[in-house]
């Protein structure tokens, strides 16, 4: 259960520390005092989104910390252990929002994403809002409420998985049938292209080699002429060649180097130059002896390059990308061929998955039908208690075709109600007035809340639009619920407030030009005054106080009566 809530610099809350107890705790106060702000702060610890607008004016950051007692909550402990967040049985959630709009979240002191706060929060707190009766008109919400009452969570998860599997296979089959003609045309084209590229037989290194060979063959005449000229200059028959002149220079330097040893390096460099020039001459002779004019080879290379360029243009790729394209086309060709065989196996797979889905859907239908009987009886009984004498509640079931799966089973559900004796059952939206719808919604919420394993239930002004004896009955139901779990109830009804085990008063104060929310836990005498205020009247008379005291005493007697009954 929620043990403690710490809030600082959130909206008009400056600093607040609230300690909660077991049973039913009521929160009361004037409109605008900050009741919704308080729940909004708690919502942040449960993963709600926020921005810098929630900060108190001129503050750098807002902070909310919720401390939960998880003793006996096996599911919460397992969740914390699974996420490596176990801390000796503690469960403390902290949320910080900066003035830059960024927020940080922590579970037991470790930073966590909002999604994990949402997951953990779903195990800890269930909030029933004052506008729940509006969403109750939606069939999806009606189905969810019934499945929560029937504890169908695991069964729905299995059905959802089976449905997704069926849908995936069904979609694959439909696509294969739809694309059958296109696939055959594509396969024919790809097969032709693969044959062409295989015949081309281009490897990654060949293109570079062809370019080099083409440059050599196309310029063979120039290469021969320039090569011969260079060879004559280096080491020809003429005595004025580079090698002969270098030899003469070396002879002269060697002759005078004996006179000055500083010329020795020059002699060595000339000697080296002669050797390199002779080696260059040798290499050039070998090159020229291998170089020949070959018009036929040049013609073949040019045709080969032209064929490669044609294929590259046809496929809109660069010539060096053709080998990779061949691999890609071969893979697609293989996939298209295998898709023919895939069609033969899909029908059997779809039939097996559909059979599995229908088995699960039948289990779900049976579970729902049993739950409908119980829920209808309980809501009908609650309607009588909430002032709708003779009213009746039921759920209409419409079966869907067996070969048309949905993620939620094989039936469409609709909540129906008869608000008055003798009135035929009709859809809630057509029959119930705003006040009646609010009471029916409350009846369903209280019943569903009693089925949940969530330790803390919050009812945010769900008693709007009711009063008098009906409000008292609502309060008694909520107090009874508080004997099984922790109930926090925001209310404007004195009949409900008087039935709380604990009472918090929320007020808006102004000090030194600044507005802030204050929350105090009321002792018995202060509770009497607060209930008297809620009863109305400009002045708080002795009669009003006496009435308030009597309401509180009657509330305490409810538990005593149950104790005597159990005894």
Report pLDDT for 564: 43
- Chain Cα centroid distance, residue 282: 74
Reading the block at residue 218, the tokens are 């196309």
Q: Is the pTM of this model over 0.85?
A: no
Among 382, 404, 401, 402, smallest CA distance to 392 is for: 382
| Phi, psi (deg, nearest 5) at residue 429 | -65, -25
Low-confidence stretches of the chain (pLDDT beneath 50): 563-567
266 in a domain, yes or no? Answer: yes
Report pLDDT for 243: 81
521 in a domain, yes or no? Answer: no
Report pLDDT for 240: 74
As for how many domains the chain has, the answer is: 1
| Phi, psi (deg, nearest 5) at residue 260 | -145, 110
Helix intervals (H) in 291-423: 295-315, 322-385
In sequence order, what are the beta bridge partners of 427?
A: 416
Is the CB of residue 491 less than 8 Å from the CB of residue 28?
yes
CA distance 380 to 417: 9
12 in a domain, yes or no? Answer: no
396 in a domain, yes or no? Answer: no
Strands 90-98 and 103-107, how do they pair?
Answer: antiparallel
**Which class for 313: exposed (0-12), middle (13-18), buried (19 or more C-beta within 10 A)?**
exposed
Report pLDDT for 563: 46
Reading the block at residue 510, the tokens are 């102004």
312 in a domain, yes or no? Answer: yes
Domain that holds residue 315: 184-334
CA distance 52 to 181: 58
CA distance 192 to 515: 81
201 in a domain, yes or no? Answer: yes
Report pLDDT for 566: 40
> Any idea what DSSP says for residue 455?
S
265 in a domain, yes or no? Answer: yes
Q: What is the three-class DSSP state of 465?
A: coil
315 in a domain, yes or no? Answer: yes
Max CA pair span of the chain:
141
Among 5, 3, 6, 16, smallest CA distance to 516 is for: 16
């Amino acid at each position: 259960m929620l043990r403690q809530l710490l809030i600082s610099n959130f909206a008009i809350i400056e600093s607040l520390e609230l300690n909660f107890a077991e049973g039913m705790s009521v929160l009361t106060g004037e409109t605008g005092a900050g009741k919704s702000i308080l729940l909004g702060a708690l919502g942040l610890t449960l993963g709600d989104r926020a921005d810098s607008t929630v900060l108190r004016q001129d503050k750098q950051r807002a902070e909310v910390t919720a401390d939960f007692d998880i003793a006996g909550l096996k599911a919460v402990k397992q969740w914390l252990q699974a996420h490596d967040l176990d801390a000796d049985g503690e469960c403390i959630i902290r949320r910080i929002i900066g003035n830059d709009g960024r927020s940080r979240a922590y579970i037991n002191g470790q930073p966590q994403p909002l999604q994990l706060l949402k997951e953990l929060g779903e195990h800890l707190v269930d909030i029933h809002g004052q506008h729940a009766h509006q969403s109750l008109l939606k069939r999806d919400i009606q189905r969810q409420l019934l499945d929560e009452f029937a504890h169908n969570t695991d069964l729905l998860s299995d059905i959802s998985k089976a449905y997704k599997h069926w849908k995936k296979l069904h979609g694959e089959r439909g696509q294969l049938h739809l694309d059958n003609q296109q696939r055959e045309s594509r396969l024919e084209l790809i097969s032709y292209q693969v044959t062409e590229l295989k015949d081309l037989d281009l490897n990654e290194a060949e293109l570079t080699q062809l370019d080099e060979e083409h440059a050599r063959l196309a310029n063979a005449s120039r290469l021969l002429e320039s090569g011969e000229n260079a060879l004559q200059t280096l080491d020809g028959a003429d005595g004025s060649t580079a090698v002969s002149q270098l030899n003469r220079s070396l002879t002269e330097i060697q002759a005078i180097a004996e006179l000055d040893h500083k010329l020795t390096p020059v002699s060595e460099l000339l000697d080296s130059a002669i050797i390199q020039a002779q080696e260059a001459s040798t290499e050039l002779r070998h090159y020229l002896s291998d170089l020949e004019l070959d018009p036929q080879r040049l013609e073949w290379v040019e045709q080969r390059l032209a064929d490669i360029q044609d294929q590259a243009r046809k496929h809109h790729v660069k010539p060096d990308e053709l080998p990779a394209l061949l691999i890609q086309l071969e893979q697609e060709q293989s996939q298209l061929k295998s898709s023919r065989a895939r069609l033969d196996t899909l029908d059997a797979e779809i039939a097996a998955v559909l059979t599995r889905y229908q088995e699960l859907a039948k289990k779900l239908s049976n579970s729902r039908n049993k739950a409908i009987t119980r829920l209808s009886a309980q809501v009908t009984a609650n309607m009588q208690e909430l002032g709708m004498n003779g009213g009746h509640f039921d759920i209409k079931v419409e079966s869907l075709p067996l070969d048309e799966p949905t993620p939620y089973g094989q039936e469409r559900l609709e909540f129906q109600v008869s608000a008055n004796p003798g009135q035929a059952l009709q859809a809630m939206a057509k029959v119930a007035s705003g006040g009646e719808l609010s009471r029916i919604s409350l009846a369903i919420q209280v019943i569903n809340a009693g089925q949940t394993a969530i330790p803390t239930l919050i009812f945010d002004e769900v008693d709007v639009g009711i009063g008098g004896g009906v409000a008292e009955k609502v309060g008694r139901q909520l107090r009874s619920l508080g004997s099984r779990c922790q109930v926090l109830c925001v209310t404007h009804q004195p009949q409900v407030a008087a039935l709380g085990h604990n009472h918090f008063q929320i007020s808006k104060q102004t000090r030194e030009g600044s507005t802030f929310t204050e929350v105090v836990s009321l002792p018995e005498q202060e509770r009497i005054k607060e209930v008297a205020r809620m009863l109305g009247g400009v002045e708080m008379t002795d009669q009003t106080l006496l009435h308030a005291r009597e309401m509180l005493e009657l509330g305490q007697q409810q538990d005593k009566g149950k104790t005597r009954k159990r005894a």
